[in-house]
Chain A
Amino acid sequence: MNIDSIKNGYVIDHIQAGKGMEIYELLHLNELDCQVAIITNAKSQKTGKKDIIKIDKDIPIDLETLGFIDHNITVNIVKDDRIIDKRKLNLPEKIVNVAKCKNPRCITSIEKDLDQIFILTDKENEVYRCKYCEMSLKRK
């Protein structure tokens, strides 16, 4: 695969260096049968280093999860070898099964079938709290 050429798909750009694999897993890209490239430590004018993920297929992308991980990421949509759209990401109001509550006193710590839900409670400071115990999520 020529990593520069995506026919129809996505180029997820400006990923913080080192975060590429985490996003690969969170978006379940390992389950795809198309070509996926992860480029780590690519040169970036803004931050020095960055990761890039290229997906050679038009699949639904979970923009909410991506927005939660880092809303500075850019998602380029490629059609017929050309970037036709850039999606800006927002902090989602709610994330489901993306992060786990670390509070040992939380009900989710003993009932494993419960969804892990976090709600954005403070947009300005990007604070998410567990829906059940309200403990804030430590973001990396």
Chain B
Amino acid sequence: MCDTCGCAITDDVLEEKILTVELLEDLMLENNRQAESNRQHLDKEGVFCINLMSSPGSGKTTLLERTIDALSGKVKIGVIEGDLETENDAQRIRAKGAPAFQITTGTACHLDAKMVHRGLHHLPLNELDLVFIENIGNLVCPAAYALGEHINVTLLAVTEGDDKAMKYPVIFRAADMVIITKTDLLPYCDFDVQKAEKSIKLLNPKAQVLMLGKGDEKGLDEWIDFCAKKIVK
């Protein structure tokens, strides 16, 4: 019985000692630390790193193939590929003559900084100028994970609809650049480019928006120019 008031609380409950700990820390602390260390690793090697995010099939690997071709002989590119299964995308990159490391996550819907760390050790960083990370095709989860990239590029294919930025704001907020892809298919889709651009700007005023389609050399030139300017070596 309690001595103070005579209530029926037993001693061991009274003696339960509680410690309150204020942490006020980011839930992603562990991942963010690893991402920062990845970035330092890349900086030390003088490598610029771009993280590509989009839904499945928006054209990430196609963009990488075109980029490697366009910069061949000028800029050395390496790629870390993320997919749930298969080596397909890494093989497509290797067929273009660039080193690629495939991460297969099994069920995980995003890459995290630890996986990318492993990937970086499989690339000849000292020989490279530019590393691309092709994230898992998913418009939700990849946005939450810093990987050590210097910039994020989010792709949106015109076949996906012009309201996608509004529906998936987080990933468009994370982007430094948004590329609207498959613009050659505009005649077959009800995709209002101005509306899409307006909502991207509303969500993320600092994001640069670029248009790219099959056979569109002007869009590709703009992209290549953008990449070439990032080279630090």
Q: Do A and B bind each other?
A: no
Chain B residues in the interface with A (C-beta under 8 A): none
